[in-house]
A and B are shown apart, each in its own frame.
Chain A
Amino acid sequence: MAIVFYLVTTRGPQLKPYGGTWPGIFLGIAAMALMIFAALLGLRKRFLGLRIGRLHKWMRGHLWLGLLTVPMVLLHAGFLAGGALTSVLLVLTLVVGVSGIAGAVLQHVLPRMLTHEVPMETVFEQIPHIREQLKEEGEALLAAASKPQPAKAAAAPAGAATATMTAGDVGIQPLQNFWETQLAPFLLDPDGKSKLATPTNSEAAFRRLRTLLAAQHHPTVDVLEDLAEESRQLKRQESIHYWLHGWLFVHVPLSYALLVLALIHAWQALRY
């Protein structure tokens, strides 16, 4: 309807920029109203307990009417940039529109990715706490593996020197080294450069570790490998979370800037 309106009203020679004509002003007011409505979503989200329309409907209104703002602005401008302020407004409109579309796509795709790639997902704010718990769990496992166990005297052949063999003495050092140099730091603060950062490299690292340890320590290694996997998943969750919400740091400030500049433009245009 707006396009038809524009086509009809731009027939014939234009004596002044389209935005300054009555049809142009009408389209400008409509675009401004849509921008204000879109901005109200932020206010609505501040008062979630209020019953002034389901938030789902507000979100859909924001998406569709916000999308409609872009062609409205273009039509209002007559597809011309005009002066400095209007050029900035046009660019901002396009950037906000594109960032909004990108955000909608991300919020459609990323939740599914998070659900399927991070089965051990937790509440985002709890991740540092969970990491501490993983480290404590690892330390407890290591302490249990380091405890000396009494030798089985009946198993020793007659006449042979019966050495007191303890689990804590034999072969635990590689595990402790691995824990201190690689696993413990990775659990607390996973680094992309760590050998444990990818499943393939991690699997190889743990396989090597098993070859250095007696079979009795392999169950402990299995559990530590699970802890490493959980740490990777938490890292993946953080990464997806930043993409899922980070785009708002572009879209929201630019939207408010657009709104403020649009109000200034409207005041200037109507006054002069």
Chain B
Amino acid sequence: MSSPTQPPSDKHPPEHSPAQWGTSLGYGEPLEPDDIVAIPIFETVSKGLLQKNQGAVVRRRFKAGETICKEGDFGSTAFYILEGTAEVFLSTPMRGGNEEPERTSWWQKLRAFAEPKMLSKKGPGHGFISIDAPVNLTKEAPTAQLQAGELFGEMTCMNFYPRSATVRARTDVVVIEMLRNVLDILMKNAKFKAQIDETYKRRALNDHLRSMPFFSDLISKSGIRHDELTGLMEQIQQHAELSRYAPGQVICKQGSAADGFYIVRIGFVRVSKEMAGGEMVVGYLSRGNCFGEMGLLGEGIRTATCTALDHAEVVRIGVEQFNALLNASPEVRRALEEVAKEREEQNQQRLAEVESVSLDAVLTQGLIEAQSLLLLDLDRCTRCDACVRACADTHGGVTRLVREGLRLDHYLVASSCRQCRDPLCMIGCPVGSIRRKRSLEIVIEDWCIGCGLCAKGCPYGNINMQALIDDAADAVTAPVEAPAEPAPDGKVINASAARLKAAPKKKATACDLCSDLDEPSCVYACPHDAAHRVDPRQFFASKPGTSAGTR
């Protein structure tokens, strides 16, 4: 556990946080230690500790309709609701994954015949959106309520990630807003910790469990009855243990014995495998994602190393509960073994793609990290930009590639997602909208809140923030509220009603290899066969004379 007075990490410095760095918030109703211990959750905290951290916890009051925190804003505090009800929601416009645009004119209907047919818009993943609160949001209706006694904003407080959702007072609300040092103190309180853990188990853990591909496969294959499954889930939840890890701490190591599986509650976990060419990062897991189940399904040996990337908290489901699931019925056991076999085959296939070619020393400047490059043969390319226009046509008018970048001999490495072995862009997404699907491509889902962390995280500038353009309007806008102003008596007045202004809502966009189509549009549309998506290790291994050049 980190020291309460440890300076905040500068990995993601808050840009818009109203809090001062260090130990004091500069707004709200400052509380004396005597006032703080009068609040039930602080009753066992020593006054001396609170004295040292004076100013790091304030009381704030919000009238019904006022915004408590806004999605995408950086911050460094967590909130605990003392009184009232708040609603938590995503205000980012979502078009939805499977909606077909309405076609009214005869030309649109004719076009529909010729438009590329999506193979499948659904990939692996869950039917909910994980946020930094003890509740998940559904994609269809991304809104929920938070009650008195609930804590939200932990991940922002501990790791300085952007707010994952907007929280607005539904009724008059009183909250305690605190910095990390105070949250650390509270989390050491067994009673408070138990309360928070219980809320999480009751409101969110069930969704996380059901969302695990392993469980959803089990449900579809075993024919297990709903009441049987509910009983098993309740048993698992009761015995679930929550554990915290410091940045860099290994949670489980490749090759060690598997003693349970895990679900991420807060923070990010890096999953990596040791392979012939070195360590490969399989992915980054955020809230709601699970890991470790393969070790239990297979030979009881961990197949990857999982490391906490920042201050992480995970739910551990022990092998005993897992065995209880196995013994529930012969059908369940058979279904589990079948699932295990399928998952292992998929993993082996995926690893074979990566292990087949040895790393080539010719590749430099980050290309060695790439698994897929968009190369333009400049000796054939007439610079007609058909690739760019085709990409824009396929992606709602916004291109995902720029015909500019590194030059290798007579090839141009276009600025387009490289599907990196170590996808740094995935670190920090507050709503888990950037993820890997079953194959290697990285996708950004529709519920991206436009915080821009992934765009900043990409070392190659291949993720761009684009303003949404709606057919019916020039731009989809979101109201930008004026920052809260503290009144002389310390109460916060939100002047948002008087100072709303429209600003274009942005979302992150990146090349997704047109994974729902049989071939990337840029390659399909090149009139001179100059555009190719290649695996760089295979492609350049056969061209030893390639030399790198830059502008």
Contacts and interface: CB of A to CB of B under 8 A. Distances in A.
A51 B393 contact: no
B379 A119 contact: no
Contacts of A126: 404
A51 B383 contact: no
A146 to B, nearest CB: 27
Contacts of A114: 378, 383
B350 interface: no
A133 to B, nearest CB: 12
A55 B117 CA distance: 18
B504 to A, nearest CB: 22
A110 B383 CA distance: 11
Nearest to B117: A51
Contacts of A50: 111, 114-116, 393
A111 B549 contact: no
Given A56-B528, A56-B529, A51 B115 contact: yes
Nearest to B407: A119
Interface string A96-135: 0000000000010011101100011011101000000000
Contacts of B380: 111
B393 A49 contact: yes
A130 B279 CA distance: 40
B524 A55 contact: yes
A46 B529 CA distance: 18
Contact of B526 (A47, A55, A120, A241): A55
B394 A49 contact: yes
Nearest to A237: B383
Contact of A115 (B410, B525, B526): B410
Given A50-B111, A123-B404, A111 B383 contact: yes
Main secondary structure of the interface of B (DSSP, over half): loop
A114 B389 CA distance: 22
A48 B390 contact: yes
B526 A49 contact: no
A48 B389 contact: yes
Contacts of B378: 111, 114-115
Most B Cβ at <10 Å: residue of A48, A56, A107, A115: A48
A155 interface: no
B386 A55 contact: yes
Contacts of B386: 45, 48, 55
B383 A241 contact: yes
B254 to A, nearest CB: 42
A35 interface: no
Contacts of A52: 114
A59 interface: yes
Nearest to A122: B404
Given A55-B524, A58-B527, A115-B378, A49 B383 contact: no
B116, B117, B379, B549: most-surrounded residue (chain A CB, <10 A): B379
**Interface-central residue, A58, A122, A123, by most chain B CB under 10 Å:** A123
A115 B92 CA distance: 43
A128 B391 CA distance: 25
A49 B516 CA distance: 14
Contacts of A111: 378-383
Contacts of B549: 119
Contacts of B390: 48-49
A244 interface: yes
Interface string B352-396: 000000000000000000000000001111111010011001100
Interface in B502-528: 517, 521, 524-528
Given A56-B526, A58-B527, A112 B393 contact: no
Nearest to A124: B383
Contacts of B529: 56
A48 B111 CA distance: 12
B491 interface: no
A54 interface: yes
The majority secondary structure among interface residues of chain A is helix
Contacts of B111: 47, 50
A107 B527 CA distance: 11
B106 to A, nearest CB: 16
Interface centre among B382, B390, B403, B521 (most CB of A within 10 A): B382
B382 A107 contact: yes
Most buried by B among A49, A110, A122, A245: A49
Nearest to A58: B527
B11 interface: no
Contacts of B403: 123
A56 B525 CA distance: 7
A107 B379 CA distance: 10
Residue in A111, A119, A120 with the greatest tally of chain B CB atoms within 10 Å: A111
A123 to B, nearest CB: 5
Interface string B94-113: 00000000000000000100
B543 interface: no
A269 to B, nearest CB: 32
A122 B528 CA distance: 20
B393 A48 contact: yes
B122 interface: no
Contact of A49 (B384, B407, B521): B521
A59 B378 CA distance: 18
B528 A51 contact: no
Contact of B551 (A47, A110, A120): A120
A112 B525 CA distance: 21
A45 B385 CA distance: 11
Contact of A47 (B383, B393, B402): B393
Contacts of A47: 111, 114, 393
Interface string B519-542: 001001111110000000000000
Contact of B524 (A54, A124, A245): A54
Contacts of A120: 551
B116 A49 contact: yes
Q: Which of B407, B524, B526 has most A Cβ within 10 Å?
A: B524
A49 B115 contact: yes
A244 B526 contact: no
Contacts of A122: 404, 551
A233 to B, nearest CB: 10
A52 B116 CA distance: 9
A59 B114 contact: no
A51 B119 CA distance: 13
B233 to A, nearest CB: 44
Given A49-B115, A244-B382, A245-B384, 11 more contacts: A47-B114, A48-B386, A48-B521, A49-B116, A49-B521, A49-B525, A54-B525, A55-B527, A112-B410, A122-B404, A124-B383
12 contacts: A45-B527, A48-B386, A48-B525, A49-B390, A49-B525, A50-B114, A55-B386, A110-B382, A112-B379, A122-B404, A123-B404, A245-B384
- Going nearest first, the 5 A-B pairs with the smallest beta carbon separation are A49-B393, A48-B390, A115-B378, A50-B114, A59-B527
Interface of A: 45, 47-52, 54-56, 58-59, 107, 110-112, 114-115, 119-120, 122-124, 126, 241, 244-245
Interface of B: 111, 114-117, 378-384, 386, 389-390, 393-394, 402-404, 407, 410, 517, 521, 524-529, 549, 551
